[in-house]
Amino acid sequence: MVPRLYAITLTAFCVGTAATSFADPPAADCAPSGGRTLNTTKVYLVPEQHATTVPSLTLREVATTVPTTDLRIDFKEEKRTVLVTSLKPRQEDRVVTSTTLVPETHIDPNTHCQTTTYTPVCVTKIVKVTVMDSVQETRDVIVMVPVLRPVESAVVVKRLTVDATTVPAVATTYKLVTVPGTASVPGPPRPILPPSCGPSGH
């Protein structure tokens, strides 16, 4: 930045000097023979500082508590009645027919020998038999039943926010100052003339 300002100052000085040189040419009759005087203008950039403020951005985290409703699961006992089938024994009289051999003795009339023969005979008896009957009964059962209950709770939500503030600072500005002046420019050296010769006496 500073070299650029110096370049601007030098350019303005050269332009002012050239403009003054072309604007006010010295008169040939009035200027001294030894040189001439030029009107010049010098340009200065004067830095000035002043107190100011500049913006500053600060990032911070903000936590917000948001109320919400959750569901809680509870259990309660309930008695339920179910129908079951079971077997129950009972005694039953049944008639059973069986075959038995009854011995019979015979005497041969010719030989007078005794012989025994067996004759099948059907016999009926009453016996007790155990019979299983299917019986339906009701039974009580305790079961756990789920119950949903609303519960008030809170959720923390985090987010980022930007805070805009200002902080003190020093600012530098440049002021343009022009100073008029004069400059003496020496003239060209006088030409050396050859010595003049007197009138010829010859």
* pLDDT tens by residue, 18-56: 444 444 444 444 444 456 888 888 888 999 999 999 999
- The closest of 139, 142, 132 to 84, measured between CA atoms, is 139
Local confidence band at 82 (pLDDT 50, 70, 90 cut-offs): very high
Q: What is the DSSP letter of 26?
A: P
Query: Can you give the pLDDT at residue 17?
Result: 44
Which amino acid is residue 37, in one-letter code?
T
Predicted confidence (pLDDT) per residue in 105-151, tens digit: 888 778 778 888 888 888 888 889 899 999 999 999 999 999 999 99
Query: Can you give the pLDDT at residue 13?
Result: 47
**Phi-psi sector, 112: left (phi>0), alpha (psi -120 to 50), beta:** left
Query: Can you give the pLDDT at residue 75?
Result: 93
The residue length of the chain stands at: 202
| Residue 53, both tokens | 């403020």
Query: Can you give the pLDDT at residue 201?
Result: 46
Q: Enumerate the β-bridge partners of residue 92.
A: 129
Helix, strand, or coil here: 200?
coil
- Phi, psi at 9, each rounded to 5°: -65, -45
Query: Can you give the pLDDT at residue 195?
Result: 66
Q: Is the pTM of this model over 0.85?
A: no
